[in-house]
Amino acid sequence: MRSVVEELKQEYGERLRAEPGYPDQLVVSVAIDDVPAVAATLREWHGARLVTVFAEDRVAPEGAFYNYYVFERAGDPCYLVVRGRIPAEDPRFPSLASTLPAVNWEEREIQDWFGIEAEGHPNPRRVALHDHWPDVHPLRKDFSLNTVLPPFEGERHVYRPTLGEGVFQIPVGPVHAGIIEPGHFNFAVAGEPILYLQLRMFYKHKGIEKLFEGMPAARGVYLAESVSGDSAFSHGTGFCQAVEKASGLEVPFRAQVMRTILLELERIYNHVADIGAIAMDVGFVIANAHAARVREMLLALNEELTGSRLLRGMVCIGGVRRDWAGGPGKALGQTLETVEREFRDLVQLIQSSDSTRDRLERTGILRPEKAAALGIVGVGGRASGVDRDVRRDHPYAAYGNLTWRIPVYSEGDVQRRMQVRIDEVRESFGMIRDAAANLPAGEHRTPARPMEPGRCALSAVEGWRGEILYWLRAGAAGRLERCKVKDPSLNNWPALVEAVEGNIIADFPAINKSFNLSYSGTDR
């Protein structure tokens, strides 16, 4: 990225200014009106991908808002953060969504939360704050966390009407029969085939990014773990890495290896559950029961290693909260051997069922070109030809010391999304064995130290669903001034809309489960 920045400097001259960064994160400032041209140059001439866009309120100290555009490119471990200043007296920025559908929701979030207009956005309707919310912008600094909002009034969300003889709407949600969080699926069907799906999220927006403001960094770990409960360790690690970078803190290698093992255990127990649930959604109940039994073995192991079945409360700033000695380390090897054997039986059971394969193959296809345009990450992306994985592309923890295969398929159907999970579980077994065999002696944590006020840092983790991002600005007295969170589900919900089109209603549960996206991570 350094050579890219030098080229940009030659093109934009004094309009582009380099800011303090890190070896793996370069920061440049440009005029907000230059962002579309800079983004086009990075994408078209350097093959860069726009990872995320988010905003920050700096009106009090600087009289401006800022938009941050994070770019990466294949084979380069360094991120490029492009920072665009938006005058407080004229809060608007040029939208990129018409050419980059991947930022559709993120730009609309900026409008909702900060009141900064995305000029030229193809669909500027509210997304994070629903239509009947009062006219407030909660992530502005002058909006108090204790604000009591007036009663919500006005028209609720109006869905696209169904047109044509024999075409009907089928509303599903936002309250569901299962123990899941709310989301609304509005289908238009002609008989059994789905013509299109309209999606509505953010029914349980938790205001997590607002809660981070002014919070001591040490307490922020627990809040990060609550973004999406089944990814608690991944989110906690992402947050801790950002604080550690901003603090200049060196994490002991023993702690890095332990984090790696726990991240992979989180991946395995969730993938095993999803493999069983996909089978369940096409009527293969026995396979789901077998998967639930294997998952329970893993959750019991998690509890023995960390005290938490879902790995909460283990990661901390500077390392991990408790060390492994004797019993837990031995239990890891013994349980893993049993789980690996049981997992082979589970996969063999599913693959021996022709009726299951018939329901999963060529169902819910997300074509590679759509996946790339929407910026799909994680399992959904790798099943549709997107060869991307933060563990390899931006190594963290102890991943730089391990070797593994990243499964990538191009068919993009439910069968391949299940197969990616199967392959990743197999790879994770090997990674955990290698990491455990080379677990070094030494400290399991380094004492935390204050971040320098104003310091910013970006952190990325490959959660079991995909890419998780944290960006923060340090405030005074070790507190947080701003913390941006991006869960992979924010990228991937639009993929579900594309994947269900043309399929029958009866296949929707399996298609939905094959992505298994987080309402909580989206409604952060």
Q: Which of 391, 380, 372, 388 is nearest to 416 (CA)?
A: 380
Give the three-class secondary structure for 172: strand
pLDDT digits (tens, 9 = 90+) for 238-252: 999 999 999 999 999
Q: Which of 13-22, 371-380, 428-437 has the lowest mean pLDDT?
A: 13-22
Surface-to-core class of residue 477, CB atoms within 10 Å of its CB (0-12 exposed, 13-18 middle, 19+ buried): exposed
pLDDT digits (tens, 9 = 90+) for 146-191: 898 888 887 778 888 887 888 999 988 888 877 778 899 999 999 8
Retrieve residue 273's tokens. Answer: 């559950």
Question: ω before 174 within 30° of 0 (cis)?
Answer: yes
Beta bridge partners of 92: 117
Residue 366 has pLDDT above 70, yes or no: yes
The answer to whether the CB of 114 falls within 8 A of the CB of 57 is yes
φ/ψ (deg, to 5) at 483: -140, 115
Do 208-522 and 2-119 fall under one CATH topology?
no
Domain boundaries, the chain: 2-119, 208-522
Give the three-class secondary structure for 14: helix
pLDDT digits (tens, 9 = 90+) for 62-85: 999 999 999 999 999 999 999 999
One-character DSSP codes across 324-360 = --SHHHHHHHHHHHHHHHHHHHHHHHHHT-HHHHHHH
Residue 468 neighbours by CB under 8 Å, 6+ apart? 231, 234, 235, 238, 460, 461, 462, 486, 487, 488
Identify the residue whose tokens are 């901003």: 246
* pLDDT at residue 326, rounded to an integer: 64
CATH number of 2-119: 3.30.460.80
pLDDT digits (tens, 9 = 90+) for 53-62: 999 999 999 9
Three-state SS across 222-279?
A: HHHHCCCHHHHHHHHHHHHHHHHHHHCCCCCHHHHHHHHHHHHHHHHHHHHHHHHHHH
* pLDDT at residue 327, rounded to an integer: 57
- Separation of alpha carbons 376 and 515, rounded Å: 11
How far is CA 304 from its chain centroid?
27
Q: Which of 130, 141, 9, 12 is nearest to 64 (CA)?
A: 141
Superfamily of domain covering 208-522: Cytochrome-c3 Hydrogenase, chain B (1.10.645.10)
Strands 92-94 vs 117-119: parallel, antiparallel or unpaired? parallel
Helix extents (H) in 405-518:
414-437, 488-500, 508-515
- Separation of alpha carbons 409 and 31, rounded Å: 40
φ/ψ (deg, to 5) at 12: -105, -10
Residue 126 has pLDDT above 70, yes or no: yes
pTM summary value? 0.95
